[in-house]
Protein backbone atom coordinates (compact mmCIF):
# COMPACT_ATOMS: atom_id res chain seq x y z
CA UNK A 1 0.00 0.00 0.00
CA UNK A 2 1.24 3.49 -0.87
CA UNK A 3 1.89 5.78 2.07
CA UNK A 4 -0.75 8.42 2.71
CA UNK A 5 2.00 11.03 2.36
CA UNK A 6 2.91 9.82 -1.15
CA UNK A 7 3.50 12.74 -3.53
CA UNK A 8 1.73 12.44 -6.87
CA UNK A 9 3.62 14.33 -9.56
CA UNK A 10 0.55 14.37 -11.78
CA UNK A 11 -2.46 14.24 -9.43
CA UNK A 12 -5.78 13.13 -11.00
CA UNK A 13 -7.68 15.86 -9.16
CA UNK A 14 -10.44 17.45 -11.23
CA UNK A 15 -11.65 19.72 -8.44
CA UNK A 16 -10.58 20.37 -4.86
CA UNK A 17 -13.08 22.17 -2.64
CA UNK A 18 -13.12 23.65 0.85
CA UNK A 19 -16.66 24.48 1.87
CA UNK A 20 -18.23 26.26 4.85
CA UNK A 21 -21.98 26.35 5.50
CA UNK A 22 -23.54 28.88 7.82
CA UNK A 23 -26.83 30.39 8.87
CA UNK A 24 -27.41 34.13 8.91
CA UNK A 25 -30.46 36.24 9.71
CA UNK A 26 -28.88 39.34 8.19
CA UNK A 27 -31.38 40.82 5.73
CA UNK A 28 -28.60 42.81 4.06
CA UNK A 29 -26.27 39.85 3.50
CA UNK A 30 -26.63 39.83 -0.29
CA UNK A 31 -25.46 43.43 -0.54
CA UNK A 32 -22.54 42.56 1.73
CA UNK A 33 -21.63 39.62 -0.52
CA UNK A 34 -21.49 42.07 -3.41
CA UNK A 35 -19.16 44.31 -1.39
CA UNK A 36 -16.88 41.34 -0.73
CA UNK A 37 -16.91 40.51 -4.45
CA UNK A 38 -16.00 44.08 -5.36
CA UNK A 39 -13.02 43.93 -3.01
CA UNK A 40 -11.86 40.66 -4.58
CA UNK A 41 -11.88 41.96 -8.17
CA UNK A 42 -8.09 42.09 -8.45
CA UNK A 43 -7.87 38.40 -7.52
CA UNK A 44 -11.02 37.19 -9.26
CA UNK A 45 -11.92 39.53 -12.14
CA UNK A 46 -14.65 37.30 -13.58
CA UNK A 47 -17.86 37.65 -11.56
CA UNK A 48 -21.25 36.07 -12.19
CA UNK A 49 -24.37 36.10 -10.04
CA UNK A 50 -25.51 32.78 -8.58
CA UNK A 51 -29.21 32.38 -9.26
CA UNK A 52 -31.74 30.10 -7.61
CA UNK A 53 -34.81 29.17 -9.63
CA UNK A 54 -37.89 28.03 -7.74
CA UNK A 55 -40.80 26.49 -9.64
CA UNK A 56 -44.16 25.68 -8.06
CA UNK A 57 -46.44 23.42 -10.08
CA UNK A 58 -49.99 23.32 -8.70
CA UNK A 59 -52.03 20.16 -8.70
CA UNK A 60 -54.10 21.29 -11.66
CA UNK A 61 -54.15 21.06 -15.45
CA UNK A 62 -54.05 24.83 -15.77
CA UNK A 63 -50.40 25.44 -16.67
CA UNK A 64 -50.90 29.20 -16.44
CA UNK A 65 -50.82 28.83 -12.68
CA UNK A 66 -47.23 27.56 -12.64
CA UNK A 67 -45.23 29.94 -10.47
CA UNK A 68 -41.60 30.71 -11.20
CA UNK A 69 -39.36 32.66 -8.88
CA UNK A 70 -35.83 33.64 -9.82
CA UNK A 71 -33.62 35.21 -7.19
CA UNK A 72 -29.96 36.00 -6.75
CA UNK A 73 -28.43 34.09 -3.82
CA UNK A 74 -24.76 35.05 -4.18
CA UNK A 75 -21.97 35.17 -6.71
CA UNK A 76 -19.30 33.05 -8.38
CA UNK A 77 -15.85 34.56 -8.73
CA UNK A 78 -13.18 33.23 -11.10
CA UNK A 79 -9.48 33.96 -11.43
CA UNK A 80 -8.16 35.27 -14.74
CA UNK A 81 -7.30 31.79 -16.03
CA UNK A 82 -10.48 30.24 -14.59
CA UNK A 83 -8.68 27.65 -12.46
CA UNK A 84 -9.37 29.23 -9.08
CA UNK A 85 -12.94 29.93 -7.98
CA UNK A 86 -14.74 31.36 -4.96
CA UNK A 87 -18.46 30.88 -4.45
CA UNK A 88 -20.10 33.18 -1.92
CA UNK A 89 -23.77 32.72 -1.13
CA UNK A 90 -26.31 33.51 1.57
CA UNK A 91 -25.74 30.16 3.32
CA UNK A 92 -22.37 28.93 2.06
CA UNK A 93 -18.83 29.93 1.17
CA UNK A 94 -16.41 27.75 -0.78
CA UNK A 95 -13.03 27.85 -2.51
CA UNK A 96 -12.37 25.66 -5.54
CA UNK A 97 -9.14 24.68 -7.27
CA UNK A 98 -9.30 23.21 -10.78
CA UNK A 99 -6.31 21.83 -12.70
CA UNK A 100 -3.49 22.55 -12.42
CA UNK A 101 -3.58 21.49 -8.75
CA UNK A 102 -0.37 22.35 -6.92
CA UNK A 103 -0.56 21.49 -3.25
CA UNK A 104 -2.81 21.47 -0.20
CA UNK A 105 -1.16 24.54 1.30
CA UNK A 106 -2.29 26.64 -1.65
CA UNK A 107 -5.94 25.62 -1.23
CA UNK A 108 -5.81 26.03 2.55
CA UNK A 109 -4.14 29.44 2.24
CA UNK A 110 -6.71 30.52 -0.34
CA UNK A 111 -9.59 29.55 1.95
CA UNK A 112 -7.96 31.11 5.00
CA UNK A 113 -7.49 34.45 3.25
CA UNK A 114 -10.83 34.63 1.43
CA UNK A 115 -12.82 33.51 4.47
CA UNK A 116 -11.12 36.17 6.59
CA UNK A 117 -12.11 38.80 4.03
CA UNK A 118 -15.66 37.48 3.63
CA UNK A 119 -16.36 37.00 7.34
CA UNK A 120 -15.76 40.72 7.94
CA UNK A 121 -19.28 41.15 6.59
CA UNK A 122 -20.87 38.47 8.79
CA UNK A 123 -22.47 39.33 12.13
CA UNK A 124 -23.42 36.79 14.81
CA UNK A 125 -23.05 33.95 12.34
CA UNK A 126 -22.08 30.40 13.22
CA UNK A 127 -20.62 27.78 10.92
CA UNK A 128 -22.81 24.68 10.74
CA UNK A 129 -20.75 22.54 8.34
CA UNK A 130 -17.10 22.32 7.29
CA UNK A 131 -16.15 20.19 4.31
CA UNK A 132 -13.07 19.04 2.39
CA UNK A 133 -13.95 17.48 -0.96
CA UNK A 134 -11.72 16.10 -3.71
CA UNK A 135 -13.09 14.85 -7.03
CA UNK A 136 -10.64 12.67 -8.96
CA UNK A 137 -10.76 11.28 -12.49
CA UNK A 138 -8.50 8.23 -12.57
CA UNK A 139 -7.49 6.21 -15.61
CA UNK A 140 -5.37 3.09 -15.76
CA UNK A 141 -4.71 0.05 -17.92
CA UNK A 142 -6.43 -3.13 -16.80
CA UNK A 143 -4.68 -6.45 -17.36
CA UNK A 144 -7.27 -9.07 -18.42
CA UNK A 145 -7.56 -11.85 -15.90
CA UNK A 146 -6.32 -9.75 -12.99
CA UNK A 147 -8.87 -9.23 -10.22
CA UNK A 148 -10.20 -5.67 -10.16
CA UNK A 149 -9.44 -5.79 -6.43
CA UNK A 150 -5.73 -5.64 -7.31
CA UNK A 151 -6.39 -2.08 -8.46
CA UNK A 152 -9.30 -0.92 -6.32
CA UNK A 153 -9.82 -2.12 -2.76
CA UNK A 154 -13.39 -0.87 -2.49
CA UNK A 155 -15.43 -3.04 -4.85
CA UNK A 156 -18.81 -4.74 -4.48
CA UNK A 157 -18.71 -8.32 -3.20
CA UNK A 158 -20.42 -10.71 -5.59
CA UNK A 159 -22.16 -13.93 -4.54
CA UNK A 160 -20.44 -17.06 -5.80
CA UNK A 161 -23.56 -18.00 -7.78
CA UNK A 162 -22.78 -15.40 -10.48
CA UNK A 163 -19.70 -14.64 -12.60
CA UNK A 164 -16.98 -12.88 -10.61
CA UNK A 165 -16.56 -10.18 -13.25
CA UNK A 166 -17.50 -6.49 -13.16
CA UNK A 167 -17.94 -4.31 -16.25
CA UNK A 168 -18.83 -1.23 -14.21
CA UNK A 169 -20.16 -0.30 -10.79
CA UNK A 170 -21.31 2.56 -8.58
CA UNK A 171 -20.56 2.62 -4.85
CA UNK A 172 -21.70 5.31 -2.40
CA UNK A 173 -21.12 5.04 1.33
CA UNK A 174 -20.80 7.26 4.39
CA UNK A 175 -18.24 6.39 7.05
CA UNK A 176 -18.21 7.94 10.56
CA UNK A 177 -14.92 8.97 12.15
CA UNK A 178 -13.97 10.40 15.53
CA UNK A 179 -14.71 14.00 16.54
CA UNK A 180 -18.04 14.11 14.70
CA UNK A 181 -16.38 13.79 11.29
CA UNK A 182 -17.90 11.77 8.45
CA UNK A 183 -16.73 10.89 4.96
CA UNK A 184 -19.02 10.52 1.97
CA UNK A 185 -17.32 8.29 -0.59
CA UNK A 186 -18.58 7.88 -4.14
CA UNK A 187 -16.78 5.57 -6.54
CA UNK A 188 -17.97 5.23 -10.14
CA UNK A 189 -16.25 2.75 -12.43
CA UNK A 190 -17.22 3.27 -16.05
CA UNK A 191 -17.38 0.42 -18.55
CA UNK A 192 -13.97 -1.09 -19.24
CA UNK A 193 -13.10 -0.64 -22.93
CA UNK A 194 -9.97 -1.95 -24.66
CA UNK A 195 -8.53 -2.77 -21.24
CA UNK A 196 -8.72 0.92 -20.26
CA UNK A 197 -10.41 1.86 -17.01
CA UNK A 198 -11.88 5.28 -16.24
CA UNK A 199 -13.31 6.02 -12.82
CA UNK A 200 -14.52 8.96 -10.76
CA UNK A 201 -13.43 8.89 -7.12
CA UNK A 202 -15.23 11.53 -5.06
CA UNK A 203 -14.26 11.92 -1.39
CA UNK A 204 -16.20 14.44 0.74
CA UNK A 205 -15.01 14.66 4.35
CA UNK A 206 -17.19 16.88 6.54
CA UNK A 207 -18.33 17.72 10.03
CA UNK A 208 -21.68 19.07 11.22
CA UNK A 209 -20.97 21.44 14.09
CA UNK A 210 -21.76 24.81 15.62
CA UNK A 211 -18.62 26.92 15.31
CA UNK A 212 -17.93 30.60 15.71
CA UNK A 213 -16.74 32.37 12.56
CA UNK A 214 -13.76 33.57 14.61
CA UNK A 215 -12.65 29.99 15.37
CA UNK A 216 -9.44 28.82 13.73
CA UNK A 217 -10.37 25.91 11.50
CA UNK A 218 -6.88 24.97 10.29
CA UNK A 219 -6.63 22.01 12.66
CA UNK A 220 -10.05 20.68 11.64
CA UNK A 221 -9.29 21.08 7.94
CA UNK A 222 -5.89 19.41 8.26
CA UNK A 223 -7.48 16.47 10.11
CA UNK A 224 -10.03 16.13 7.33
CA UNK A 225 -7.31 16.23 4.73
CA UNK A 226 -5.51 13.37 6.50
CA UNK A 227 -8.73 11.34 6.48
CA UNK A 228 -9.19 12.11 2.79
CA UNK A 229 -5.67 10.86 2.05
CA UNK A 230 -6.22 7.72 4.14
CA UNK A 231 -9.30 6.94 2.06
CA UNK A 232 -7.66 7.73 -1.27
CA UNK A 233 -4.43 5.78 -0.82
CA UNK A 234 -6.17 3.02 1.11
CA UNK A 235 -8.60 2.45 -1.75
CA UNK A 236 -6.27 2.64 -4.76
CA UNK A 237 -3.23 0.44 -5.29
CA UNK A 238 0.03 1.43 -6.94
CA UNK A 239 -1.20 -0.35 -10.09
CA UNK A 240 -4.13 2.07 -10.33
CA UNK A 241 -1.99 5.13 -9.65
CA UNK A 242 1.14 4.39 -11.68
CA UNK A 243 0.22 7.07 -14.26
CA UNK A 244 0.25 9.70 -11.51
CA UNK A 245 3.35 8.85 -9.47
pLDDT band (50, 70, 90) for residue 123:
confident
pLDDT, tens digit, for every residue of 192-215? 888 899 999 999 999 998 887 767
| pLDDT value of position 55 | 73
- Sheet with strand 196-212: strands edge to edge: 46-56, 67-78, 84-89, 92-97, 13-23, 126-141, 196-212, 181-189, 169-176
pLDDT, tens digit, for every residue of 213-223? 767 789 999 99
Most confident region among 9-13, 124-128, 160-164 by mean pLDDT = 9-13
pLDDT, tens digit, for every residue of 7-26? 899 999 999 999 999 988 88
Whether the predicted model's global pTM rises above the 0.85 cut: yes
Has residue 191 got a pLDDT over 90? Answer: no
What are the residue boundaries of the structural domains of the chain, listed by start?
1-24+128-245, 26-124
Has residue 92 got a pLDDT over 80? Answer: yes
Alpha-carbon gap, residue 189 to 117, rounded angstroms: 40
The pLDDT of 104-118, averaged and rounded, is 96
Alpha-carbon gap, residue 176 to 143, rounded angstroms: 34
pLDDT, tens digit, for every residue of 37-90? 999 999 999 999 998 777 777 766 655 676 777 788 899 999 999 999 999 999
The pLDDT of 125-136, averaged and rounded, is 95
Rounded to the nearest angstrom, the gap between the alpha carbon of residue 143 and the centroid of all alpha carbons in its chain is 31
Amino acid sequence: MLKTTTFLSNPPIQEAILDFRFSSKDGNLLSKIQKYAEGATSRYPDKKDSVELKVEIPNTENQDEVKRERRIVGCLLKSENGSRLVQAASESFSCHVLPPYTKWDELLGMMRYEWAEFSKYLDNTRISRVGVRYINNIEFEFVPGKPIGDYIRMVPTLPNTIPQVLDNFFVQITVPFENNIKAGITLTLNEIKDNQVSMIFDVDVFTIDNLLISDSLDSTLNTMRTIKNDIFFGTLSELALKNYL
